[in-house]
Amino acid sequence: MGPGVLAAVLCAAFLHAAWNAAVKSEPDKLLASMAVSSGAAVLGLAAVLLLPAPDRASWPFIAASTLIHIAYYLLLARSYGQADISLAYPLMRGCAPVLVALASAFVEPLHPAQMLAVVLVGAGAVATCLGARLSRRAVVPALLTAVVIAAYTLVDGLGVRRSGAPAAYTAWLFLCCGIAVPLACRRRLGGRLPAFLKTKPQLALLGGAATGGSYAIVLWAMTLAPVAVVAALRETSIVFAVAIAAWVLRERVGRARVVGALLITFGAAALRLA
């Protein structure tokens, strides 16, 4: 991996952690997450006008992933409403690859390196939860979010292979999510989203650009470097999230949470490389 690709993937990891921190910093997490989804939809619309449509075989997967993303945004908002990002983000992003690996184990058993990676993530999750007063309301939503992330990862992994056009598949997914998610949450939003977008357009535009740009960078990097290496390096977003939590959001990030985040990062990276 060249230095330019390395820097780009690290930038992608930071962008992902940054938009999650932006959602966490808002009083209404659901409105904030809907704003980010709407901003990504605008970028998706611009892209679909320029790109050829993905193959018809991938459309059922786009539809399924869109439905899963409704649950994702709801759980994401709930997770950040109940727990610090320095706790929720490592659990969400670190446990999801483990769940994908365990699901894949039904087809192909895990080999020793993968088992070690799973143990590292498990140890990190336990360490992250130590030294703080935690409740089921704080941990369970984050773990449920990890399940949803694993679900859409598997669906999109199958769908993008059938699309014949990964960039177009991603653009259509962002567009569909940006339309379907606010519609599905309209009762909870109570018509407040348009006013929120008017008062904080920067969250929608920058947040949408961050989530879209992060994914686009990773896809681009995977064309120039080994997929496993890029995916592993992408897990540094956990470290960025904990750093942002401590230095920007002023969360109390103790030694146990830092050690836990590092263990989860190493375990997730090892799982990608295994």
Q: To the nearest whole percent, how much of the chain has pLDDT over 90?
A: 40
> What is the predicted pLDDT for the residue at 133?
63
Cα 209 to the center of its chain, rounded Å = 14
CA distance 171 to 61: 14
Judge whether 44 and 178 are in contact, CB under 8 Å: yes
Residue whose entry in the numeric block shows the structure tokens 């080994």: 226
Please give the pLDDT value at position 97.
77
C-alpha to C-alpha distances, 61 to 93, 143, 153, nearest whole angstrom: 22, 23, 11
Per-residue pLDDT of 117-166, as tens digits, reads 778 877 887 777 776 666 667 788 989 999 998 888 888 888 888 888 88
Query: 218-265 pLDDT, tens per residue?
Result: 878 877 777 667 777 787 888 899 899 999 998 888 888 888 888 888
Please state the separation of Cα 34 from the chain's center in Å. 15
Residue 58 carries which DSSP code? Answer: G
pLDDT at 134: 63
Give the distance from CA 162 to its chain's centroid: 22
Give me the numbers of helices (H) and strands (E) for the chain, helices first please: 13, 0
Burial 240-258 (b: 16+ CB within 10 A, else e): bbbbbbbeeeebebeeebb
What backbone torsions phi and psi does residue 26 show, to the nearest 5 degrees? -85, 145
% of the chain residues with pLDDT over 70: 95
**Cβ-based burial of 176 (10 A; exposed 0-12, middle 13-18, buried ≥19):** buried
Provide the pLDDT for residue 91.
87
Closest CA to 9 of 219, 170, 153, 165: 219
Residue 157 CA to chain centroid, in angstroms? Answer: 14
The answer to whether 8 touches 220, Cβ cutoff 8 Å, is yes
Q: What is the pLDDT of residues 18-51, one digit of tens each?
A: 999 999 999 999 999 999 999 999 999 999 999 9
What average pLDDT does this structure show over 268-273? 75
The answer to whether the Cα torsion of 121, 126, 127, 133 is positive or negative is positive
Per-residue pLDDT at 183 exceeds 70: yes
Domain that holds residue 162: 3-273
Q: In the predicted model, what is the mean pLDDT of the chain?
A: 86
Q: What's the total number of domains in the chain?
A: 1
